[in-house]
Amino acid sequence: MPSTPPWTNGAEGLLMEYEKEVAEKVWRGRRSGAVSPGFGGGVYARRSRSGRRGKEDEQSLVVVGGGAAGVYASIRAKTLAPHLNVVVIEKGKFLSKVKISGGGRCNVTNGHHLEPSGLARNYPRGYKELRGSFFRTHGPQDTMHWFSDHGVELKDLACALTEASLLIYVYCFDCHVRPKRTAGKSVSGASVDANGKFVVKVEKRTIDFVDYISANYVLVATGSSQQGYSFAAQHGHSIIPPVPSLFTFKIADKRLADLSGVSFTRVTAKLMLDGIQKSAPELTQTGPMLVTHWGLSGPVVLRLSAWGARELYQDKYQAKLVVDFIPDIHIEDVKRILFQHKDQHAKNKVNNAFPKEFGLVKRFWGFLLEQESLDGDMHWATVPKSHLNAMALRLKQWMFEVVGKGQFKDEFVTAGGVPLSEISLSTMESKKQPNLFFAGEVLNVDGVTGGFNFQNAWTGGYIAGTSIGTLASKSILKEEQACLQLQGS
């Protein structure tokens, strides 16, 4: 390891001051042995011992996309094949999605789902295919171990990815990916020459710039960018049209905006779509929900938006949402509690005294009274039983009209992409084009909120990086053996 940090000497400005502090801590830990190296001692070697291998004989990898999957794969490939020449091309900023997800803090993975089949059930697209060997190769525990082994402390089965993303940056520097990083440029296509190598066309739109890079292997990890879909289609892949996933619901009732900020720790919500005659179990979800100034949000709504993403798109985001605000209390018990409350609080105003068993806030209770045309100043004794029955039914089956989708700024996920049937999940290699690999959201895989989309990126990147690194190592070994034979002859 060099005596000075690899981000100095020409890399100033890439990290902010607070980022440098984190990087310094991790780098010092590696030098002292407190943090596991993870890349092997020969990572800086550029030539074989024979010294005969020229630049044209180098094994090379072009990674299209500098997000979670692409960077993770780069590190893994470089770990297994230190001599591998790696170029990571990103048209925007490296790891930008990782940095801003969750407002700068998001889950590395989801440690509550460690068994592959249970984990796979959190992927509306991909759950059938991913429940096999995919997550067994590199699952949530492996991801958590990777981060913790490299100096990132996980808290409550999650991790602050501001620090974790910086850690990945440090290791990119360490494994010589940094000198080959290319930001602000995009890949517009690639041909395959007579020797089976890719000739990758790189462009920069802001200036008249075109470059060509030769590569033995190409990994497409472009997320939901059209760049990746075009590249895949160029090499024989079909593309399932991408549509938004993980979004909030706009609700027709404008009066709901008065409740903006009111949250519920546990509701059960059922999404009713015209395109689905028989309700799928995934379209009923239980969990927290939040009222926003435009409608409804929270984990329950986001999960429903993911499972109904394509049907919602087809129906132009028009649907019915039935919400049970007190799912742990049967409707008959709700009626009984209301009737008892009427008797016990006959002289109290309905707006000031309401059943605490329901766990509702006063603002929401007032909204409920308004919906039932009840004056909050009336006394419980004067409330007709028919109104109490109607209130119970509304609390258990409140129907909202969904009239559009909102934005969930912390998640930006699409459903669609390269079909999983067109790649080998054991290697992430294309079945259409040898030595072409895919990982991450460019594939038709998307998860619900809670770290699942990042886990797909880590797993796919790890498998692709392992495959590429192994292939490159074998090729390099063959070249070195051939050189030794030539020297001996």
| Greater model confidence, 253 or 262 | 262
Question: What's the CA gap between 92 and 80, in Å, rounded?
Answer: 27
Question: Is residue 38 in some structural domain?
Answer: no
Question: In the predicted model, what is the mean pLDDT of residues 365-394?
Answer: 95
Q: Give the pLDDT confidence score for residue 153 in this predicted structure.
A: 64
Question: What's the CA gap between 172 and 51, in Å, rounded?
Answer: 26
Q: Does residue 430 carry a pLDDT above 90? A: yes
How distant, in Å, are the alpha carbons of 92, 194, 460 from that of 325? 43, 65, 38
Q: pLDDT, tens digit, for every residue of 443-478? A: 999 999 888 999 999 999 999 999 999 999 998 888
Question: In the predicted model, what is the mean pLDDT of residues 98-105?
Answer: 60
162 shares its domain with 182: yes
Indicate the pLDDT class of residue 132, thresholds 50, 70 and 90: confident
Q: pLDDT, tens digit, for every residue of 367-381? A: 999 999 999 999 999
363 shares its domain with 457: no
351 shares its domain with 433: no
Count of structural domains, the chain? 2
CB-based contacts of 258, cutoff 8 Å, min separation 6: 363, 367
Question: Is residue 315 in some structural domain?
Answer: yes
Q: pLDDT, tens digit, for every residue of 182-198? A: 667 889 899 999 999 99
Cβ burial of 255 (10 Å; 0-12, 13-18, 19+) is exposed
| Greater model confidence, 488 or 178 | 488
Whether the CB-CB separation of 417 and 393 falls below 8 Å is answered with: no
Question: Is residue 125 in some structural domain?
Answer: yes
Length of the chain: 489
200 shares its domain with 255: no
| Radius of gyration in angstroms for the set of CA atoms belonging to the chain, rounded to a whole number | 28
236 shares its domain with 253: no
Domain boundary among 389, 407, 425: 407
437 shares its domain with 378: no
Domain boundary among 407, 439, 457: 407
Question: Is residue 419 in some structural domain?
Answer: yes
228 shares its domain with 280: no
Question: Is residue 10 in some structural domain?
Answer: no
Indicate the pLDDT class of residue 419, thresholds 50, 70 and 90: very high
Q: Give the pLDDT confidence score for residue 13 in this predicted structure.
A: 40
Q: Does residue 167 carry a pLDDT above 80? A: no
423 shares its domain with 355: no
Q: Which amino acid is at 25?
A: K
261 shares its domain with 232: no
Q: Give the pLDDT confidence score for residue 179 in this predicted structure.
A: 40
Question: Is residue 209 in some structural domain?
Answer: yes
Q: Give the pLDDT confidence score for residue 22 in this predicted structure.
A: 46
Q: What is the CATH number of the domain that holds 315?
A: 1.10.8
Tell me which residue of 77, 95, 92 sits closest to 216, measured CA to CA: 77
Q: Give the pLDDT confidence score for residue 291 in this predicted structure.
A: 97
Q: Give the pLDDT confidence score for residue 177 in this predicted structure.
A: 54
86 shares its domain with 221: yes
Q: Give the pLDDT confidence score for residue 28 in this predicted structure.
A: 56
Residue span of the structural domain in which 143 resides: 55-242+412-488
219 shares its domain with 161: yes
The two three-digit tokens of residue 286, written as one number: 């239980």
133 shares its domain with 259: no
Q: Give the pLDDT confidence score for residue 479 in this predicted structure.
A: 74
Domain boundary among 354, 383, 407: 407
Q: What is the CATH number of the domain that holds 204?
A: 3.50.50.60
Question: Is residue 271 in some structural domain?
Answer: yes
Question: Is residue 371 in some structural domain?
Answer: yes
Q: pLDDT, tens digit, for every residue of 35-44? A: 433 333 223 2
